[in-house]
Structure 1
Amino acid sequence: MNELQGAGVALVTPFNTDGSIDFESLGNLIDFQINEGMNYLVSLGTTGETATLSTDEKKQVWKFTSEKVNGRIPLVAGIGGNNTIEVVDQVKNFDIPGYCAILSVSPYYNKPTQEGIYQHYKAIATASALPIILYNVPGRTGSNMSPATTIRLAKEFNNIVATKEASGSFAQFNEILRDKPEGFLLISGDDPVTLPMIAIGAAGIISVVGNAYPKEVSTLTKLALEGNYQEARNYHNRLLAITDMCFAEGNPCGVKYILQQKGIGTDYVRLPLVPIGTSLQEKIKAEMQNF
């Protein structure tokens, strides 16, 4: 999956102030990402507030994104959840052209066993006509997909081609890289550890901060993949403070505020999320000036 090498971004879903989807701003965001060097886009990952979107809204966003990108860079569709039957049905019936893979988050809230996680992804892989990217983010799902489960899935299903890892555990990353089948990709799912993950063998990042700073994130990733760690560190250090602020009051609240300051969409987020507070806004404005 050469399409998944480098820097990808989990696109936010811009909303108008009445809560409706702002397709004009979404189009501007897509152009911004492509023009600033992003290698691929993820439409409706969890950063896209997918839990708050209806089925019809998701289809509209996927279709609009595909048409707007128009083959300029690869596209990944986010389809996940904690109801395996429903996820399988969505994957089986996904027929929007222009997408090269599906990113599917590990089941949240239910806290399944490792066997339950395996069976969940087995059902998805069996149903999908597109390659699958696993997504492990235990801080949000409430359960960790172990390296053994990741490797078991990677070895048993040829269409499970990568894992987006946001566990924060380098012991886990090392084990995956040591035992994975050839061609299976480890992708960073956490902006601050992109550089060290690439240094040990990761293929890149699916970024949140890249929504607001695509040039910096894509350049950092490119330099690191080329082995130019000294220059990559400059970008890494430059992004640390703004990255912390992006997540300080929930994702994607911070990054939407930065985009608003850059003239792309509003900072509107659907409940139960709310826009960031005044204090954080002022901190972000001050840090933006450093860029």
Structure 2
Amino acid sequence: MEQLIGTGVALVTPFRADLSVDVPALERVVEHNIQGGVDYLVILGTTAESATLSQAEKQLVVDVVVRTNAGRLPLVLGVGGNNTMAVAHELKTLDLSDFDAILSVSPYYNKPTQEGIYQHFKMLAEASPLPIILYNVPSRTGSNMLPETTLRLAYEFSNIVGIKEACGDMVQIDNIIKNKPEEFMVISGDDATALPTVLAGGAGVISVLGQGLPGLFSDMIRWGLEGQVKEAYAIHHKLSSLMQLIFEEGNPAGIKSIFESLGVSTATVRLPLVEASPSLKEKIGVWLKSLDKAQV
């Protein structure tokens, strides 16, 4: 899966003031990222507010991104949930012809055991016509997929090709990198651990901030993969305060505030999320004004 090494971005779903999907803004977000140099696009992840999109809206988002991308970058589709049989059915029935891989989150709310997490992904691996990237994000799911479970899945299923690891724990991430099959990709799911993960032997990142500043973020990851540590860390340190700012009031409120400042889309989100506060927007705007426009 060499096409998924580097910088992937978890695309937002822009909304109009009436909370409908803003198609022209979504087209601008996609173009912004393609022109900025990211390596692949992730559709309908957490950052897309997929939990509050109807099936018709999800299909609209997919159609718009696929059409705008026009085959230029690899595409990954988020397909996950806490009803294992329903997700497996979805994987068997969806038209996945435009996609390179599936990103599937560890089951949330149910709080399964490690064996339950293993059996969940076993069923999905047996159902999916595409390679699967596991997604571990304990802060959202309520359970941590431990390295033993990740490695068990990696060794037993050839179509489980990687993990988006958002545990925030470099010891856990390093454990997976050290013991994984050679071709299995460890992808950072946290912007703050993106560069450390790459330098430890990871394959890249699926980023939130990267879609706002695709040129700068992609350069950081590219230099990290090439072993240009000093240059990569110079960007990491430049971006570190913004990484904190955009998650200060939750995701995607922060990244949507960046897009508003850049004139790409509004900062509107759907309840139960709320838009970034005026004070946070001001801080993000000040940060962006200090940046050379060529680096966005």
Q: Same fold (TM over 0.5)?
A: yes
Secondary structure in structure 2 of the residue aligned to 1:112: coil
CA contact (8 A) 1:70 1:98 kept: no
2:72 aligned residue: 72
Distance across 1 between alignment mates of 2:20 and 2:96: 22
Distance across 2 between alignment mates of 1:26 and 1:284: 21
Distance across 2 between alignment mates of 1:108 and 1:268: 25
Secondary structure in structure 2 of the residue aligned to 1:223: helix
Distance across 1 between alignment mates of 2:103 and 2:74: 13
Tell which deviates more after alignment, 71-80 or 51-60: 51-60
1:122 aligned residue: 122
Secondary structure in structure 2 of the residue aligned to 1:220: helix
Q: Deviations over 1:142-194 (max 9, x none)?
A: 10000000011111111000000010112211221122112000000000111
Secondary structure in structure 2 of the residue aligned to 1:9: strand
Deviant stretches of 4+, over 6 Å: none
CA contact (8 A) 1:88 1:124 kept: yes
Distance across 1 between alignment mates of 2:89 and 2:267: 32
Distance across 2 between alignment mates of 1:199 and 1:180: 16
Tell which deviates more after alignment, 41-50 or 90-99: 90-99
Matched, 1:131 2:159: no
Distance across 2 between alignment mates of 1:244 and 1:25: 25
Q: Deviations over 1:200-248 (max 9, x none)?
A: 1000010000121111110000000000010001110111111111000
Distance across 2 between alignment mates of 1:215 and 1:272: 32
Secondary structure in structure 2 of the residue aligned to 1:195: helix
Amino acid paired to 1:187:
I
User: Displacement of 1:3 after TM fit?
Assistant: 1.2
Distance across 2 between alignment mates of 1:204 and 1:285: 27
TM-score if structure 1 supplies the norm length?
Answer: 0.98
User: Displacement of 1:97 after TM fit?
Assistant: 2.6
Distance across 2 between alignment mates of 1:88 and 1:23: 29
Secondary structure in structure 2 of the residue aligned to 1:250: coil
Secondary structure in structure 2 of the residue aligned to 1:186: strand
User: Displacement of 1:257 after TM fit?
Assistant: 0.9
Matches within 5 A, 1:215-226: 215-226=215-226
User: Displacement of 1:121 after TM fit?
Assistant: 0.6
Secondary structure in structure 2 of the residue aligned to 1:183: coil
TM-score if structure 2 supplies the norm length?
Answer: 0.96
Amino acid paired to 2:193:
V
Distance across 2 between alignment mates of 1:243 and 1:215: 15
2:271 aligned residue: 271
Question: What number of residue pairs does the alignment pair up?
Answer: 291
Matches within 5 A, 1:1-291: 1-291=1-291
Distance across 2 between alignment mates of 1:180 and 1:158: 12
CA contact (8 A) 1:210 1:217 kept: yes
Amino acid paired to 2:12:
V
Distance across 2 between alignment mates of 1:8 and 1:100: 13
Tell which deviates more after alignment, 35-44 or 60-69: 60-69
Distance across 2 between alignment mates of 1:15 and 1:271: 12
Distance across 1 between alignment mates of 2:210 and 2:19: 23
User: Displacement of 1:96 after TM fit?
Assistant: 3.9
Tell which deviates more after alignment, 91-100 or 15-24: 91-100
User: Displacement of 1:63 after TM fit?
Assistant: 2.0
Tell which deviates more after alignment, 80-89 or 143-152: 80-89
Secondary structure in structure 2 of the residue aligned to 1:134: strand
Distance across 2 between alignment mates of 1:160 and 1:141: 20
Distance across 1 between alignment mates of 2:55 and 2:280: 33
Distance across 1 between alignment mates of 2:164 and 2:150: 11
Amino acid paired to 1:177:
I
User: Displacement of 1:92 after TM fit?
Assistant: 1.3
Distance across 2 between alignment mates of 1:125 and 1:61: 25
Q: Which runs of 5+ in 1 are unaligned?
A: none
CA contact (8 A) 2:170 2:193 kept: no
CA contact (8 A) 1:107 1:141 kept: yes
Q: Which runs of 5+ in 2 are unaligned?
A: 292-296
Q: Deviations over 1:225-280 (max 9, x none)?
A: 00001000111011111111100001000110110111111111010001011111
CA contact (8 A) 1:11 1:208 kept: yes
2:294 aligned residue: none
Distance across 2 between alignment mates of 1:278 and 1:64: 30
